[in-house]
Amino acid sequence: MQIFYGREANIKQFNSFFSEKGSALVFVKGRRRVGKSTLIKNFFLGKACVFSFTGYEEEAGRTTRRRFAKAWDEFTGERKLGTIRAVDLDWVLIFEQIYNHIERSNLKTTIILDEIQWLHSKGNGFIGHIKEFWERLKDYREIKIVLSGSSTRFFNDHIIGQNATLRGLATQSAIHVLPFTPDEVQRFYFPEWSIQEVALVYMMTGGVPYYLERIPYKREKNFIRAINEGIFCSSTIFLEEADNIIKIELLRKTAAERIKDLLRHLGFQGKSVSVLSKITGEDEDYVYKTLMMLKEVGMIRTRLCPAGGGKKKDEFIYFLGDHYLNFYFSTLEPNSFKIKKNVEGLIFREIIHSHEGYYIPGFSGSAFELLAFNFLEHGQESQDYSKSLLFKKLRIHNVNYTVETLLVHQESQIDLLVTSDQDREVRVIEVKWLSSPKNLQALYIDQVKGKVLPKRLQAKYTRSDYLLISPEVPERYRLIAKE
Protein backbone atom coordinates (compact mmCIF):
# COMPACT_ATOMS: atom_id res chain seq x y z
CA MET A 1 0.00 0.00 0.00
CA GLN A 2 1.30 3.44 -0.94
CA ILE A 3 2.19 5.99 1.72
CA PHE A 4 -0.67 8.46 2.02
CA TYR A 5 0.05 12.16 1.46
CA GLY A 6 -2.09 15.22 0.85
CA ARG A 7 -5.28 14.79 -1.18
CA GLU A 8 -7.14 17.37 0.90
CA ALA A 9 -9.45 18.31 -1.99
CA ASN A 10 -10.34 14.66 -2.68
CA ILE A 11 -10.92 14.00 1.03
CA LYS A 12 -13.27 16.98 1.14
CA GLN A 13 -15.19 15.44 -1.79
CA PHE A 14 -15.38 12.10 0.00
CA ASN A 15 -16.59 13.76 3.21
CA SER A 16 -19.38 15.45 1.28
CA PHE A 17 -20.31 12.15 -0.38
CA PHE A 18 -20.21 10.11 2.83
CA SER A 19 -22.12 12.62 4.96
CA GLU A 20 -24.90 13.03 2.41
CA LYS A 21 -28.26 11.87 3.73
CA GLY A 22 -29.73 8.85 2.03
CA SER A 23 -28.00 6.85 -0.66
CA ALA A 24 -25.23 8.06 -2.94
CA LEU A 25 -22.97 6.62 -5.62
CA VAL A 26 -19.56 7.97 -6.55
CA PHE A 27 -17.12 7.16 -9.34
CA VAL A 28 -13.42 7.46 -8.54
CA LYS A 29 -11.27 7.80 -11.63
CA GLY A 30 -7.63 8.48 -12.40
CA ARG A 31 -4.72 7.01 -14.31
CA ARG A 32 -3.01 3.80 -13.29
CA ARG A 33 -0.76 4.10 -10.19
CA VAL A 34 -2.03 7.56 -9.21
CA GLY A 35 -3.20 6.48 -5.73
CA LYS A 36 -6.96 5.93 -5.99
CA SER A 37 -6.97 2.76 -3.88
CA THR A 38 -4.72 4.37 -1.28
CA LEU A 39 -7.05 7.37 -1.02
CA ILE A 40 -10.14 5.13 -0.67
CA LYS A 41 -8.55 2.85 1.94
CA ASN A 42 -7.29 5.80 3.95
CA PHE A 43 -10.63 7.58 3.96
CA PHE A 44 -12.74 4.55 4.91
CA LEU A 45 -10.24 3.11 7.40
CA GLY A 46 -12.05 2.45 10.70
CA LYS A 47 -15.51 3.31 9.39
CA ALA A 48 -18.28 0.81 10.19
CA CYS A 49 -20.14 -1.39 7.69
CA VAL A 50 -17.71 -0.97 4.80
CA PHE A 51 -17.33 -3.82 2.32
CA SER A 52 -14.43 -3.53 -0.11
CA PHE A 53 -13.56 -5.78 -3.03
CA THR A 54 -10.89 -5.43 -5.73
CA GLY A 55 -10.87 -6.92 -9.21
CA TYR A 56 -7.71 -8.65 -10.42
CA GLU A 57 -6.28 -8.52 -13.91
CA GLU A 58 -6.71 -11.70 -15.97
CA GLU A 59 -8.55 -13.51 -13.17
CA ALA A 60 -11.20 -15.92 -14.48
CA GLY A 61 -14.77 -14.72 -13.93
CA ARG A 62 -15.73 -17.79 -11.94
CA THR A 63 -12.72 -17.34 -9.65
CA THR A 64 -13.60 -13.67 -9.13
CA ARG A 65 -17.18 -14.52 -8.14
CA ARG A 66 -16.02 -17.23 -5.72
CA ARG A 67 -13.60 -14.79 -4.14
CA PHE A 68 -16.34 -12.16 -3.93
CA ALA A 69 -18.74 -14.65 -2.30
CA LYS A 70 -16.16 -15.58 0.33
CA ALA A 71 -15.38 -11.93 1.09
CA TRP A 72 -19.09 -11.05 1.39
CA ASP A 73 -19.79 -13.98 3.74
CA GLU A 74 -16.88 -12.89 5.93
CA PHE A 75 -18.23 -9.33 5.96
CA THR A 76 -21.74 -10.37 6.97
CA GLY A 77 -20.78 -13.29 9.21
CA GLU A 78 -23.28 -15.44 7.32
CA ARG A 79 -22.24 -18.37 5.14
CA LYS A 80 -24.75 -18.07 2.31
CA LEU A 81 -23.05 -17.18 -0.96
CA GLY A 82 -20.28 -19.65 -0.14
CA THR A 83 -22.74 -22.53 -0.19
CA ILE A 84 -23.73 -21.95 -3.81
CA ARG A 85 -22.00 -24.14 -6.39
CA ALA A 86 -19.40 -22.29 -8.46
CA VAL A 87 -21.21 -23.18 -11.70
CA ASP A 88 -24.43 -21.56 -10.41
CA LEU A 89 -22.87 -18.49 -8.79
CA ASP A 90 -23.46 -15.46 -10.99
CA TRP A 91 -23.79 -11.72 -10.38
CA VAL A 92 -27.60 -12.00 -10.26
CA LEU A 93 -27.41 -14.24 -7.19
CA ILE A 94 -24.63 -12.17 -5.64
CA PHE A 95 -26.45 -8.85 -5.89
CA GLU A 96 -29.71 -10.44 -4.77
CA GLN A 97 -27.97 -11.66 -1.62
CA ILE A 98 -26.44 -8.23 -1.00
CA TYR A 99 -29.87 -6.63 -1.48
CA ASN A 100 -31.52 -9.03 1.00
CA HIS A 101 -28.83 -8.46 3.63
CA ILE A 102 -29.08 -4.67 3.43
CA GLU A 103 -32.87 -4.86 3.65
CA ARG A 104 -32.72 -7.08 6.74
CA SER A 105 -29.94 -5.25 8.57
CA ASN A 106 -31.24 -1.72 7.83
CA LEU A 107 -27.71 -0.41 8.42
CA LYS A 108 -25.88 2.35 6.60
CA THR A 109 -23.64 0.24 4.35
CA THR A 110 -20.79 1.25 2.05
CA ILE A 111 -19.80 -1.01 -0.84
CA ILE A 112 -16.46 -0.31 -2.53
CA LEU A 113 -15.70 -2.01 -5.85
CA ASP A 114 -12.12 -1.23 -6.88
CA GLU A 115 -10.46 -1.87 -10.26
CA ILE A 116 -13.94 -2.33 -11.62
CA GLN A 117 -12.70 -2.86 -15.18
CA TRP A 118 -11.48 -6.33 -14.16
CA LEU A 119 -14.84 -7.26 -12.59
CA HIS A 120 -16.71 -6.62 -15.80
CA SER A 121 -16.12 -8.97 -18.69
CA LYS A 122 -17.94 -9.53 -21.95
CA GLY A 123 -21.32 -11.16 -21.42
CA ASN A 124 -21.38 -11.27 -17.61
CA GLY A 125 -23.77 -8.32 -17.23
CA PHE A 126 -21.90 -6.93 -14.23
CA ILE A 127 -22.52 -3.24 -14.95
CA GLY A 128 -26.19 -3.85 -15.72
CA HIS A 129 -26.64 -5.71 -12.43
CA ILE A 130 -25.06 -2.82 -10.52
CA LYS A 131 -27.54 -0.44 -12.12
CA GLU A 132 -30.51 -2.65 -11.29
CA PHE A 133 -29.26 -3.16 -7.72
CA TRP A 134 -28.78 0.60 -7.27
CA GLU A 135 -32.20 1.47 -8.62
CA ARG A 136 -33.86 -0.96 -6.18
CA LEU A 137 -32.12 0.44 -3.09
CA LYS A 138 -31.31 4.10 -3.65
CA ASP A 139 -34.62 5.63 -2.55
CA TYR A 140 -35.23 3.91 0.75
CA ARG A 141 -31.98 2.66 2.23
CA GLU A 142 -28.74 4.25 3.49
CA ILE A 143 -26.28 2.79 1.01
CA LYS A 144 -23.11 4.29 -0.42
CA ILE A 145 -21.47 2.76 -3.48
CA VAL A 146 -17.92 3.59 -4.58
CA LEU A 147 -16.86 2.45 -8.06
CA SER A 148 -13.16 2.91 -8.79
CA GLY A 149 -11.01 1.98 -11.77
CA SER A 150 -7.82 2.75 -13.65
CA SER A 151 -9.14 2.37 -17.19
CA THR A 152 -10.33 5.66 -18.65
CA ARG A 153 -11.70 3.81 -21.64
CA PHE A 154 -13.82 1.58 -19.41
CA PHE A 155 -15.25 4.60 -17.58
CA ASN A 156 -16.08 6.31 -20.86
CA ASP A 157 -17.69 3.21 -22.36
CA HIS A 158 -19.67 1.99 -19.35
CA ILE A 159 -20.05 4.77 -16.80
CA ILE A 160 -19.84 8.36 -18.07
CA GLY A 161 -19.95 8.11 -21.87
CA GLN A 162 -22.88 9.23 -24.00
CA ASN A 163 -24.26 5.68 -24.29
CA ALA A 164 -22.88 4.30 -21.02
CA THR A 165 -25.07 1.97 -18.95
CA LEU A 166 -24.55 3.93 -15.72
CA ARG A 167 -24.73 7.41 -17.24
CA GLY A 168 -27.19 9.75 -15.55
CA LEU A 169 -27.84 7.73 -12.40
CA ALA A 170 -29.48 9.76 -9.63
CA THR A 171 -27.27 10.93 -6.73
CA GLN A 172 -24.06 10.06 -8.58
CA SER A 173 -20.88 12.13 -8.56
CA ALA A 174 -17.27 11.74 -9.66
CA ILE A 175 -13.94 12.18 -7.90
CA HIS A 176 -10.92 12.62 -10.16
CA VAL A 177 -7.61 11.72 -8.51
CA LEU A 178 -4.90 13.71 -10.28
CA PRO A 179 -1.12 13.34 -10.08
CA PHE A 180 0.64 15.47 -7.50
CA THR A 181 1.83 18.94 -8.50
CA PRO A 182 5.60 19.61 -8.70
CA ASP A 183 5.38 21.51 -5.41
CA GLU A 184 3.69 18.53 -3.74
CA VAL A 185 6.30 16.16 -5.18
CA GLN A 186 9.05 18.21 -3.57
CA ARG A 187 7.20 18.60 -0.27
CA PHE A 188 6.13 14.96 0.11
CA TYR A 189 9.00 13.06 -1.51
CA PHE A 190 12.20 15.03 -2.18
CA PRO A 191 12.41 18.03 0.17
CA GLU A 192 16.22 18.35 -0.08
CA TRP A 193 16.49 18.21 -3.85
CA SER A 194 16.78 21.36 -5.96
CA ILE A 195 13.84 22.75 -7.88
CA GLN A 196 15.42 21.64 -11.15
CA GLU A 197 15.98 18.10 -9.88
CA VAL A 198 12.35 17.87 -8.77
CA ALA A 199 11.18 19.23 -12.11
CA LEU A 200 13.26 16.65 -13.96
CA VAL A 201 11.95 13.71 -11.91
CA TYR A 202 8.44 15.10 -12.43
CA MET A 203 9.01 15.08 -16.17
CA MET A 204 9.97 11.40 -15.90
CA THR A 205 7.09 10.29 -13.67
CA GLY A 206 4.32 12.84 -14.12
CA GLY A 207 3.86 13.21 -10.36
CA VAL A 208 2.44 9.67 -10.05
CA PRO A 209 2.92 8.43 -6.43
CA TYR A 210 3.69 4.80 -7.24
CA TYR A 211 6.51 5.84 -9.56
CA LEU A 212 7.89 8.38 -7.10
CA GLU A 213 8.05 5.74 -4.37
CA ARG A 214 10.31 3.60 -6.56
CA ILE A 215 13.05 6.23 -6.23
CA PRO A 216 15.09 5.47 -3.05
CA TYR A 217 15.35 9.04 -1.77
CA LYS A 218 15.26 8.10 1.92
CA ARG A 219 18.33 5.91 1.49
CA GLU A 220 20.14 7.84 -1.23
CA LYS A 221 19.88 11.63 -1.19
CA ASN A 222 22.17 12.17 -4.18
CA PHE A 223 19.92 12.88 -7.17
CA ILE A 224 21.92 11.10 -9.87
CA ARG A 225 22.52 7.99 -7.75
CA ALA A 226 18.88 7.79 -6.61
CA ILE A 227 17.50 8.12 -10.14
CA ASN A 228 20.04 5.61 -11.41
CA GLU A 229 19.09 3.05 -8.75
CA GLY A 230 15.34 3.55 -9.04
CA ILE A 231 14.96 3.85 -12.81
CA PHE A 232 18.14 2.84 -14.65
CA CYS A 233 19.05 -0.43 -12.90
CA SER A 234 17.94 -3.96 -13.82
CA SER A 235 15.47 -4.10 -10.91
CA THR A 236 13.41 -1.20 -12.30
CA ILE A 237 9.64 -1.50 -12.89
CA PHE A 238 9.73 1.29 -15.44
CA LEU A 239 10.65 -0.83 -18.47
CA GLU A 240 7.50 -2.97 -18.22
CA GLU A 241 5.10 -0.25 -17.16
CA ALA A 242 4.38 0.95 -20.70
CA ASP A 243 2.90 -2.44 -21.59
CA ASN A 244 0.72 -2.37 -18.47
CA ILE A 245 -0.63 1.11 -19.23
CA ILE A 246 -1.56 0.11 -22.77
CA LYS A 247 -3.11 -3.18 -21.68
CA ILE A 248 -5.32 -1.61 -19.01
CA GLU A 249 -6.92 0.64 -21.63
CA LEU A 250 -7.27 -2.12 -24.22
CA LEU A 251 -8.59 -4.52 -21.54
CA ARG A 252 -7.04 -7.29 -23.63
CA LYS A 253 -3.63 -8.32 -24.94
CA THR A 254 -4.39 -8.29 -28.64
CA ALA A 255 -3.14 -5.30 -30.65
CA ALA A 256 -0.94 -4.09 -27.79
CA GLU A 257 2.25 -4.31 -29.86
CA ARG A 258 0.63 -2.50 -32.81
CA ILE A 259 -0.46 0.34 -30.54
CA LYS A 260 2.93 0.47 -28.87
CA ASP A 261 4.51 0.86 -32.31
CA LEU A 262 2.22 3.81 -33.09
CA LEU A 263 3.13 5.48 -29.80
CA ARG A 264 6.83 4.83 -30.39
CA HIS A 265 6.76 6.73 -33.67
CA LEU A 266 4.72 9.64 -32.31
CA GLY A 267 7.08 10.98 -29.68
CA PHE A 268 6.44 14.48 -28.42
CA GLN A 269 6.96 16.17 -31.78
CA GLY A 270 4.11 14.09 -33.12
CA LYS A 271 2.89 12.90 -36.50
CA SER A 272 -0.19 13.30 -38.65
CA VAL A 273 -2.39 10.31 -39.48
CA SER A 274 -1.06 10.09 -43.03
CA VAL A 275 2.60 10.30 -42.00
CA LEU A 276 2.17 7.77 -39.21
CA SER A 277 0.40 5.43 -41.61
CA LYS A 278 3.31 5.58 -44.05
CA ILE A 279 5.92 5.00 -41.32
CA THR A 280 4.17 2.04 -39.71
CA GLY A 281 2.52 0.52 -42.78
CA GLU A 282 -0.84 0.59 -41.02
CA ASP A 283 -4.06 1.53 -42.79
CA GLU A 284 -5.00 5.21 -42.30
CA ASP A 285 -8.46 4.32 -41.02
CA TYR A 286 -6.96 2.04 -38.35
CA VAL A 287 -4.40 4.69 -37.40
CA TYR A 288 -7.07 7.39 -37.07
CA LYS A 289 -9.45 5.25 -34.97
CA THR A 290 -6.62 4.10 -32.72
CA LEU A 291 -5.35 7.64 -32.20
CA MET A 292 -8.86 8.78 -31.31
CA MET A 293 -9.07 6.05 -28.67
CA LEU A 294 -5.61 6.95 -27.29
CA LYS A 295 -6.59 10.61 -27.15
CA GLU A 296 -9.82 9.78 -25.34
CA VAL A 297 -7.92 7.95 -22.58
CA GLY A 298 -5.30 10.70 -22.21
CA MET A 299 -2.23 8.94 -23.66
CA ILE A 300 -1.86 11.41 -26.50
CA ARG A 301 -2.71 15.05 -27.24
CA THR A 302 -3.26 16.98 -30.47
CA ARG A 303 -1.45 19.95 -31.96
CA LEU A 304 -3.35 21.90 -34.60
CA CYS A 305 -1.57 22.68 -37.85
CA PRO A 306 -3.66 25.38 -39.60
CA ALA A 307 -3.74 25.08 -43.39
CA GLY A 308 -2.72 28.70 -43.94
CA GLY A 309 -5.14 29.42 -46.77
CA GLY A 310 -5.91 27.77 -50.09
CA LYS A 311 -7.91 24.58 -50.45
CA LYS A 312 -5.94 22.61 -47.90
CA LYS A 313 -7.69 21.68 -44.68
CA ASP A 314 -6.44 22.16 -41.13
CA GLU A 315 -4.50 19.13 -39.95
CA PHE A 316 -3.94 17.65 -36.50
CA ILE A 317 -0.58 16.41 -35.28
CA TYR A 318 -0.80 13.72 -32.58
CA PHE A 319 1.84 13.57 -29.84
CA LEU A 320 2.48 11.75 -26.56
CA GLY A 321 0.57 13.36 -23.70
CA ASP A 322 1.60 11.15 -20.76
CA HIS A 323 4.82 12.05 -18.93
CA TYR A 324 5.92 8.50 -18.24
CA LEU A 325 5.20 7.29 -21.80
CA ASN A 326 7.10 10.25 -23.24
CA PHE A 327 10.06 9.37 -20.98
CA TYR A 328 9.79 5.67 -21.83
CA PHE A 329 9.82 6.03 -25.61
CA SER A 330 12.40 8.82 -25.74
CA THR A 331 14.86 7.56 -23.13
CA LEU A 332 14.12 4.24 -21.44
CA GLU A 333 13.34 2.04 -24.43
CA PRO A 334 16.38 3.18 -26.48
CA ASN A 335 18.57 2.35 -23.45
CA SER A 336 16.68 -0.77 -22.35
CA PHE A 337 19.55 -3.17 -23.13
CA LYS A 338 21.97 -1.23 -20.92
CA ILE A 339 19.36 -0.85 -18.18
CA LYS A 340 18.58 -4.59 -18.09
CA LYS A 341 22.31 -5.33 -17.71
CA ASN A 342 22.98 -2.61 -15.15
CA VAL A 343 23.33 -3.68 -11.52
CA GLU A 344 25.50 -0.98 -9.98
CA GLY A 345 26.98 1.15 -12.77
CA LEU A 346 25.93 4.79 -12.88
CA ILE A 347 24.67 4.71 -16.46
CA PHE A 348 22.42 7.67 -15.68
CA ARG A 349 25.58 9.79 -15.79
CA GLU A 350 26.02 8.77 -19.43
CA ILE A 351 22.44 9.64 -20.31
CA ILE A 352 22.22 12.98 -18.55
CA HIS A 353 24.69 15.68 -19.64
CA SER A 354 25.57 16.66 -16.09
CA HIS A 355 28.57 18.76 -17.16
CA GLU A 356 26.10 21.03 -18.99
CA GLY A 357 23.52 21.02 -16.23
CA TYR A 358 20.67 18.54 -16.07
CA TYR A 359 19.83 17.93 -19.70
CA ILE A 360 18.77 14.71 -21.41
CA PRO A 361 19.04 15.00 -25.22
CA GLY A 362 15.78 14.30 -27.01
CA PHE A 363 13.81 14.51 -23.78
CA SER A 364 14.25 17.53 -21.51
CA GLY A 365 12.94 20.23 -23.85
CA SER A 366 9.82 18.39 -24.97
CA ALA A 367 9.15 17.01 -21.47
CA PHE A 368 9.20 20.53 -20.01
CA GLU A 369 6.67 21.65 -22.62
CA LEU A 370 4.48 18.69 -21.69
CA LEU A 371 4.78 19.57 -18.00
CA ALA A 372 3.51 23.08 -18.68
CA PHE A 373 0.74 21.82 -20.98
CA ASN A 374 -0.57 19.23 -18.51
CA PHE A 375 -0.17 21.59 -15.56
CA LEU A 376 -2.38 24.19 -17.20
CA GLU A 377 -4.95 21.56 -18.21
CA HIS A 378 -5.14 20.16 -14.66
CA GLY A 379 -5.63 23.70 -13.36
CA GLN A 380 -9.08 23.68 -14.93
CA GLU A 381 -10.31 21.13 -12.39
CA SER A 382 -7.97 21.35 -9.40
CA GLN A 383 -7.18 24.19 -7.03
CA ASP A 384 -3.91 22.43 -6.12
CA TYR A 385 -2.74 23.41 -9.60
CA SER A 386 -4.60 26.66 -10.24
CA LYS A 387 -3.36 28.35 -7.05
CA SER A 388 0.28 27.94 -8.10
CA LEU A 389 2.75 30.69 -8.92
CA LEU A 390 2.53 29.82 -12.61
CA PHE A 391 -1.13 30.85 -12.73
CA LYS A 392 -0.39 34.08 -10.86
CA LYS A 393 2.39 34.94 -13.29
CA LEU A 394 0.12 34.30 -16.25
CA ARG A 395 -2.63 36.32 -14.57
CA ILE A 396 -5.10 33.46 -14.95
CA HIS A 397 -7.76 33.94 -12.30
CA ASN A 398 -10.42 31.52 -13.50
CA VAL A 399 -10.78 28.05 -15.01
CA ASN A 400 -12.64 29.19 -18.10
CA TYR A 401 -9.78 29.01 -20.57
CA THR A 402 -8.48 26.70 -23.26
CA VAL A 403 -4.95 25.32 -23.63
CA GLU A 404 -3.55 24.34 -26.99
CA THR A 405 -0.34 24.01 -28.92
CA LEU A 406 -0.03 24.93 -32.59
CA LEU A 407 2.25 24.11 -35.50
CA VAL A 408 1.99 27.03 -37.91
CA HIS A 409 2.76 26.29 -41.57
CA GLN A 410 4.56 23.07 -40.61
CA GLU A 411 7.52 24.98 -39.24
CA SER A 412 6.89 27.63 -36.56
CA GLN A 413 5.52 26.02 -33.39
CA ILE A 414 3.64 27.94 -30.74
CA ASP A 415 4.41 25.92 -27.61
CA LEU A 416 1.35 26.99 -25.63
CA LEU A 417 -1.68 29.15 -26.24
CA VAL A 418 -3.91 29.95 -23.27
CA THR A 419 -7.10 31.64 -24.41
CA SER A 420 -9.67 33.10 -22.02
CA ASP A 421 -13.06 34.41 -23.06
CA GLN A 422 -13.48 35.98 -19.64
CA ASP A 423 -10.65 38.50 -19.95
CA ARG A 424 -10.51 38.31 -23.78
CA GLU A 425 -6.81 37.61 -23.69
CA VAL A 426 -4.66 35.10 -25.56
CA ARG A 427 -1.36 34.26 -23.87
CA VAL A 428 1.45 33.12 -26.17
CA ILE A 429 3.99 31.07 -24.21
CA GLU A 430 7.40 29.89 -25.37
CA VAL A 431 8.73 27.06 -23.19
CA LYS A 432 12.49 26.51 -22.75
CA TRP A 433 14.39 23.99 -20.65
CA LEU A 434 17.86 25.48 -20.18
CA SER A 435 20.80 23.32 -19.13
CA SER A 436 22.30 26.27 -17.23
CA PRO A 437 21.49 29.94 -16.47
CA LYS A 438 24.16 31.21 -18.87
CA ASN A 439 22.13 29.83 -21.79
CA LEU A 440 19.31 32.33 -21.22
CA GLN A 441 19.33 34.62 -24.24
CA ALA A 442 17.42 37.79 -24.99
CA LEU A 443 16.54 36.45 -28.41
CA TYR A 444 14.17 33.95 -26.80
CA ILE A 445 11.81 36.81 -25.97
CA ASP A 446 12.00 38.02 -29.56
CA GLN A 447 11.16 34.48 -30.66
CA VAL A 448 7.93 34.69 -28.70
CA LYS A 449 7.11 38.07 -30.21
CA GLY A 450 7.68 36.64 -33.66
CA LYS A 451 5.05 33.93 -33.36
CA VAL A 452 2.14 34.57 -35.72
CA LEU A 453 -1.30 33.88 -34.32
CA PRO A 454 -4.01 32.24 -36.42
CA LYS A 455 -6.44 34.74 -37.89
CA ARG A 456 -9.28 33.35 -35.75
CA LEU A 457 -7.51 34.78 -32.68
CA GLN A 458 -5.87 37.98 -33.97
CA ALA A 459 -8.92 40.24 -33.98
CA LYS A 460 -10.82 38.61 -31.15
CA TYR A 461 -8.30 38.72 -28.27
CA THR A 462 -5.68 40.95 -26.69
CA ARG A 463 -2.29 39.27 -27.00
CA SER A 464 0.37 38.90 -24.30
CA ASP A 465 3.70 37.07 -24.65
CA TYR A 466 5.59 34.97 -22.11
CA LEU A 467 8.77 32.96 -21.86
CA LEU A 468 8.55 30.05 -19.44
CA ILE A 469 12.02 28.81 -18.57
CA SER A 470 13.31 25.89 -16.55
CA PRO A 471 13.73 26.24 -12.77
CA GLU A 472 17.53 26.50 -12.95
CA VAL A 473 17.08 30.20 -13.67
CA PRO A 474 16.58 30.65 -10.41
CA GLU A 475 12.98 31.74 -9.64
CA ARG A 476 10.57 28.80 -9.59
CA TYR A 477 8.70 28.38 -12.91
CA ARG A 478 10.04 31.79 -13.83
CA LEU A 479 8.08 33.69 -16.46
CA ILE A 480 9.45 36.60 -18.39
CA ALA A 481 6.73 38.72 -19.95
CA LYS A 482 7.18 41.26 -22.68
CA GLU A 483 3.99 43.03 -23.61
Half-sphere exposure of 190 (CA within 13 A, CB side): 30
Which carries the bigger pLDDT value, residue 136 or residue 411? 136
Name the strands in the sheet holding 172-176, side by side, starting at the edge strand that comes first in the sequence. Answer: 50-54, 109-114, 143-149, 24-29, 172-176
Rounded-to-integer distance, Cα 385 and Cα 380, Å: 8
Q: What is the pLDDT of residues 202-257, one digit of tens each?
A: 999 999 999 999 999 989 999 999 999 999 999 999 999 999 888 888 755 567 88
Residue 173 pLDDT exceeds 70: yes
pLDDT attached to residue 471: 65
Single out the residue of 175, 245, 170 nearest to residue 30, CA to CA: 175
- How much is the mean pLDDT over the chain? 85
**Residue type for position 60:** A
Between 273-280 and 256-266, two packed helices, what is the crossing angle to 10 degrees?
120
> Angle at the Cα of 300 (from 296 to 303), degrees rounded to 5?
105
Angstrom CA distances, 126 to 133, 150, 362, 391, stand at 11, 17, 45, 43
Beta bridge partners of 378: none
Q: What is the pLDDT of residues 94-106, one digit of tens each?
A: 988 888 888 888 7
pLDDT attached to residue 310: 52
